[in-house]
Chain A
Amino acid sequence: MSVDFRACLYALSDVIINRPKPLRHFDQIYMKLPDMLLQAELISRWFDGKSVLFIGDGDAIGLAVTHLAALELLPGRPQHITVLDFDERVVNSVNRFAEDYGESDWIRASLYNVADALPKDFWHAANAFYTNPPWGASNNGSSVKAFIERGIEGVQADALGCIVIGDHPSYQWTHEVQVATQNILLEAGFRVAEMLPEFHRYHLDDDPELTSCSLIVQRQTDTLDDSYTSRPLSAEHKANFYGSNSPLLVQYVRDPTNGGKLASRDVTLERLETTNND
């Protein structure tokens, strides 16, 4: 398949400008444009025909895949994407974009905090999960664990996953978190099917060189206990959620503009002075 780069970049520009302003408070640190294209291509191949559950998606990879696929710019496409995020601005931005471009059959976002039990509707429902969690530099991946476990709860026995986490040779912590991550996945019966090291960069103004990897994982089994066992996170887990001594205190980030429908209060306008000549 030949790639029309200009068409891809136009489509991605529309996705990127639709992302709400990232909040460093919650480790919202967005992926940069070139890597979004490569990541979307990867996902469209691996998750072709699958129903996919995203646990958090400030980057808007779900929307990028959906939009590029709708324009027939990718080799494959997921059959459906569900995005769960605790930031209503992210949720609204996905749903509004999908409505505007007639892509609502392909993607839907809902409000959900990983501290809560996974709603029953999502339990063991999807064929694949995707997460780019808060990377947990100083808590040895406590937030990473929570996001991945929710993803695993959301998929069937035969399943794929994609985890995007820190990966840089100069940062020891990224490798430590990877070990913890792979342990969680192995424990749940997943093997690493593909690993793309140092694959993405971010809009991280104090450290633009920091990179992350894409870890594609796969579980092939027909047996899975289907009884619903999702539980809220423990108090201890919440106390060190974003890092040690960095607790999760927020249930939802609310969107006072209702997805850009209402005016933002971020700007004020000053009247042009009229002179006697006017």
Chain B
Amino acid sequence: MIDIPERFIFMKVGNHAGESWEDILKRKRKEFEETGMTFWGYGGGACHPISQVQPFARLSLKEQGGILLVMEPVDSRADPDIVPAREYSSDGIEWVPIPKGITVTGSRHALVLDEIKPGSLDLPLNELEVGIGPSTGKAAETYLKGRTDKGCLVKSSKPRKVEEGEKYKLVRKVGFTAELRDPFAVLLR
């Protein structure tokens, strides 16, 4: 088990119909070997690359020397999206081609990662809160209810009390981790 960092990015990640976790990791490892980095595509309002992930990661770099993505794998039956992004941008101004060997499909945003490694970690959401943006300070268990499946999280200064028997409900099981690397997160098109 690894320790819970002071600040980190949490993401629920789904495999796709027809592709197992082993396959995904194999594919991503190959991308990493060929290009020295990996793009992890995502979408939605939370964790915007420029207004949230980048400033959060820069702060974390200053405070703890790096920033970790922790992933909770879930089974999803969604069909894989097929349209690959062609360009990426770290500021929305300059766009450059996505390096040969990297494929990201069906996403508007991507985290830029080092190697993805298996690593187990139990995250008690009642001890965490949102660390950036308009939801700063919001309890992680409330934030990650409903439509939101990811967040820039920090250890909470005010952990919520939970009955011993109820604790398991608020624990998220992390199966994989990866360090983010500069520029941490990008826009895709």
Contact = CB atoms under 8 A, between A and B. Distances in A.
Interface of A: 24-27, 29, 135, 137-138, 166, 170-173, 204-207, 210, 242-246, 249-250
A170 B137 contact: yes
Contacts of B54: 245-246
8 contacts: A25-B92, A137-B132, A137-B134, A138-B55, A205-B44, A206-B44, A206-B45, A244-B59
Given A245-B56, A249-B91, A250-B93, 13 more contacts: A24-B51, A25-B48, A135-B134, A137-B133, A138-B55, A138-B136, A170-B137, A170-B138, A173-B137, A204-B45, A206-B44, A242-B51, A244-B59
B33 to A, nearest CB: 31
Interface of B: 44-46, 48, 50-51, 54-56, 58-59, 91-93, 132-138, 143, 147-148, 151, 187
Nearest to A251: B93
Contacts, number: 72
Contact of B134 (A25, A26, A207, A246): A207
A27 B51 CA distance: 8
B137 A171 contact: yes
A210 B135 contact: yes
B149 to A, nearest CB: 10
Contacts of A173: 136-137
A243 to B, nearest CB: 5
Contacts of B143: 206-207
Contacts of A207: 134-135, 138, 143
Nearest to A210: B134
A205 B148 CA distance: 8
A76 B16 CA distance: 57
A166 B37 CA distance: 38
Given A24-B51, A205-B45, A171 B132 contact: no
B48 A137 contact: no
B132 A243 contact: yes
Highest count of chain B CB atoms <10 Å: which of A166, A204, A206, A210: A206
A207 B134 CA distance: 8
